[in-house]
Amino acid sequence: KNDAVDPKIRTALIYFLGLYYLVAGIKKLPDSNWVNGDAIFLILNWGPVSRWVLMDQWESYLYFFSKLFSWLVIFFEMSFIFFIGTRYRKYYLLFGFLMHFFIKIFLDVGLFFEIMMVWYTACFSDSNLRSVSKAHCLSKCKSIYPVRLFFQPK
């Protein structure tokens, strides 16, 4: 293949991301708020980082889902390194994208989403990335005026 990045380097980056998640998951295990499933609920209602304090409006619904997602986050982080090289890769990448996207929506933590998505690009070969290139997007979005106006192919 004509990949710009050596596949061994790409693999090392992917497993470094997996190691990052594994360490983050292990770090959560001694924290009773994560193990009890309360962590996400508490974070979503913590003033300094929460974009919206949701305690009053949706407390009963939010508590159930935040408990579920607290456990899912730990499972995801601790198993990512083992499943990223399998046929479940696309599900892990989708869950990771959604997890970081919702962090961006609900929490004010700067560029965390964008930084993690840069790491996620390591999980795709150049041919995968080329399929979402500017030329490909232009061919699919010809009728969208701003796209035509600013991104005319040469």
Give pLDDT tens digits for 4-62.
667 788 888 889 999 999 999 999 999 999 988 888 888 877 777 777 665 566 666 77
In whole angstroms, give the CA distance from residue 154 to residue 34: 52
The pLDDT of residue 142 is above 60: no
Q: How far is CA 31 from the centre of its chain?
A: 22
Give the chain's length.
Answer: 154
The pLDDT of residue 140 is above 60: no
pTM: 0.73
